[in-house]
Structure 1
Amino acid sequence: MELLTVSGISLVEQGSEVLRQISFSQRSGQKLAVAGESGTGKSTLLQIIAGLIQPSAGEVRVNGRRVRGPAETLVPGHAGVAYLSQKSELPHALRVGQVLRYANKRPEAEAQALYELCRIRHLAERRTDQLSGGEQQRVALARLLLGAPQLLLLDEPFAHLDRGHKRLLQAIIEELGARLAITCLLVSHDPPDTLAWADEILVLRQGRIVQQGPPAQIYQQPVDEYTAALFGEYNLVRGPDCQALIRTAGRPAAPQLLVRPEHLLLGPVGPGGVSGTVKTIRYFGSYYEVEVRLRETTVRARTSTSSLAPGEVVQVSVAAGGGWLLPLSADL
């Protein structure tokens, strides 16, 4: 069942087109993420869905009901939709217990279970101005969940958190769907965070959707270099090096080959590969990154071994199923 339907949403501000014909849907229980570099309209799109910004064209429906923007209603927002902004926006200097009591629409037993889920029961007597950034974000999340929303919009929820608080909030968001039957739509300024969480990812560029699909497809088969760059390291190979590497993968000729470092294989020189010279080796804990100079291109590969040395000649090939052919129009 479609919980959220976004149809032809566009937004023009001060003569500039911020969003252009955005359309997609989200099923109940589906984990959907929106990725893109800063300024692509991700947060604006979320606020339109929440009813906080009036679109110039198009409409949003939640459970079949149209979301009205601030130009159409005195009180912005939509019943059943909760929006968690980058800032917690908690009332200043109130005790956490007070803030939560004012917001609670659930039976007490459900509320206590929710506080346990959000890891905030120990914070009840603290004032909101005494909380760390991560604690504030978890209290703000619990406050929204007390309203029993069906759709939770998460706008860069990890943006200002240290590693520990970020991992804790990620774990909480992961549990929400199963335990509370709440559907989540998440925007992150760090798109790799979405790969392990999302069922489907929308990639925005300059206010438009340029790719939509499951995380593995977005990562392994990006439509362009922009999308590839959002989700991790990559090599873009052209010219003779491109054609030689394509042959090692058994692919047809193409002007560009995009390949992730982990999909490049290094080995002794022999038939069936492309020879290159090791330039640099860097240690990253769980793997080594090896820079190899081919005929015209320097590529980066990942390996678990440290047996290589700068200046050594190696054979480079593409792992089976690795690499993605791009047309020239797919440049940044």
Structure 2
Amino acid sequence: MSWLSVSNISLQEKGNFALQEVSFTQQQFQKLAIAGETGAGKSTLLQIIAGLIQPTAGEVRFEGERVRGPIEKLIPGQPGVAYLSQHFELPKFLRVEQVLRYANTLRAADAATLYEVCRIGHLAARPTNQLSGGERQRIALARLLLGSPKLLLLDEPFSNLDRMHKNILKSVIEDIGAKLGITCLLISHDPTDTLSWADRILVLQGGQLVQQGSPEQIYRQPTNEYTASLFGDYNLLAGPLVAAFAKFAGSKVKPKSKHLLVRPEAFRLNAANESQVGTVRAVRFYGSYSEVEVELLGTSVTVKTSEAGLETGNEVRVSLPAAGVWFM
């Protein structure tokens, strides 16, 4: 039996489907992420799992128990499940210590461990109106965790955070699983947040689940151009370039394939293997790599490379290992 089971969930609003027959499972301690564009239904799905929105059809089961929506119970929410909204609020003009004390159900030692995991011990005496956005979010998260949930649902936790606070929160979420034993399910629009963290990724498009798999599968073998676009830059090639590189794809070539999807880092410049001759049209330096625009068989392709010294007008040889191509 699955620890969390989402079965054929649909939600219809004003005659339109916000979610349509979404099904998946999550095992305890499995790190699951949901990706999709704005309006794809990610937040709505999380709120249904938390018991905060009533689905039109389907059911959610958590630890074998059906999650009831707000129409079915007086106080919405599912025991053992905590949901951190993008629009969390803290009581104003209270000290952090007061906010947490009022919510605490743990022993002092366990609470101290939780505060250490959330990196908030130094904030205890600070009034809530004197916290940064990242600090306020970690306080709100700690307040939820004081209720000892088993499943934590995080709705775009990294949005609107600067790089420093984002990295702190990433470490906090890792420790929530490793040190507190709480399973996390999060949604994010930033591929770097999900690819490096998740064991499994679900992709929503227009309220439908269009792909699920490991981060590497989602990134390297997207089911469509929409999924490819969610997880980074890509080249979608057609015409002569498809024929030129088709021999590298082997069994991945579909009978009616017309397009070749290539991540910029999959191309190799001036390698010893078979290649096509192209001309450098632009070079953009990003520190650890350069992004190079190459004109190749009448088409412009983007290549990421660590090769130095490339200049506009240079002739280069472009090759493509088999692992770098995906036909659509």
Question: Would the TM-score normalized by the shorter structure come out above 0.5?
Answer: yes
1:261 aligns with 2:269: no
Equivalent residue for 2:201? 201
Equivalent residue for 2:36? 36
Q: State the TM-score, normalized to the length of structure 2.
A: 0.96
| Residues 121-130 or 158-167, more deviating | 121-130
| Residues 133-142 or 316-325, more deviating | 316-325
1:74-124 deviation per Cα after TM superposition (whole angstroms, max 9, x unaligned):
101010000011123112222111111111111110001111111111111
C-alpha separation between the residues in 2 aligned to 1:3 and 1:37? 27
The structure-2 alpha-carbon separation of the partners of 1:310 and 1:250, relative to structure 1 and needing over 3 Å to count, comes to farther
C-alpha contact 1:86 1:156 (8 A) present in aligned 2: yes
Equivalent residues in 2 for 1:41-80, closer than 5 Å: 41-80=41-80
The structure-2 alpha-carbon separation of the partners of 1:259 and 1:111, relative to structure 1 and needing over 3 Å to count, comes to same
Q: What is the alpha-carbon root mean square deviation over aligned residues?
A: 1.5
C-alpha contact 2:237 2:260 (8 A) present in aligned 1: yes
C-alpha separation between the residues in 2 aligned to 1:250 and 1:258? 14
C-alpha separation between the residues in 2 aligned to 1:303 and 1:157? 32
Equivalent residue for 1:275? 277
Q: Name segments (4+ residues, structure 1) moved above 6 Å.
A: none
Candidates 311, 321, 324, aligned match of 1:322: 324
C-alpha separation between the residues in 1 aligned to 2:140 and 2:97? 12
C-alpha contact 2:33 2:186 (8 A) present in aligned 1: yes
Counterpart of 1:229 in structure 2: which amino acid? S
Counterpart of 1:289 in structure 2: which amino acid? E
Candidates 294, 298, 301, aligned match of 1:299: 301
| Displacement after TM superposition at 1:248 (Å) | 4.7
Residue 319 of structure 2 aligns to a residue in which SS?
A: strand
Residue 25 of structure 2 aligns to a residue in which SS?
A: strand
C-alpha contact 1:276 1:314 (8 A) present in aligned 2: yes
Equivalent residues in 2 for 1:212-231, closer than 5 Å: 212-231=212-231
The structure-2 alpha-carbon separation of the partners of 1:52 and 1:271, relative to structure 1 and needing over 3 Å to count, comes to closer
C-alpha contact 1:2 1:25 (8 A) present in aligned 2: yes
| Displacement after TM superposition at 1:271 (Å) | 7.9
Counterpart of 2:55 in structure 1: which amino acid? P
Residue 179 of structure 2 aligns to a residue in which SS?
A: helix
Counterpart of 1:308 in structure 2: which amino acid? L
| Displacement after TM superposition at 1:219 (Å) | 0.4
C-alpha contact 2:18 2:207 (8 A) present in aligned 1: yes
1:40-73 deviation per Cα after TM superposition (whole angstroms, max 9, x unaligned):
0000000010111111001111101111111111
Equivalent residues in 2 for 1:124-143, closer than 5 Å: 124-143=124-143
Count of paired positions: 325
Counterpart of 1:219 in structure 2: which amino acid? Y
Residue 324 of structure 2 aligns to a residue in which SS?
A: coil
C-alpha contact 1:192 1:230 (8 A) present in aligned 2: no
C-alpha separation between the residues in 1 aligned to 2:311 and 2:12? 55
C-alpha contact 2:46 2:155 (8 A) present in aligned 1: yes
| Displacement after TM superposition at 1:279 (Å) | 0.5
Equivalent residue for 1:329? none
Equivalent residue for 1:118? 118
| Displacement after TM superposition at 1:307 (Å) | 2.4
Counterpart of 1:301 in structure 2: which amino acid? V
Residue 77 of structure 1 aligns to a residue in which SS?
A: coil
| Residues 310-319 or 41-50, more deviating | 310-319
Counterpart of 1:214 in structure 2: which amino acid? S
Q: Percent identity between the aligned chains?
A: 60
C-alpha separation between the residues in 2 aligned to 1:78 and 1:60? 11
C-alpha contact 1:259 1:322 (8 A) present in aligned 2: yes
Equivalent residue for 2:292? 290
Unmatched 5+ stretches in structure 2: none
| Residues 112-121 or 87-96, more deviating | 87-96
Equivalent residue for 1:311? 313
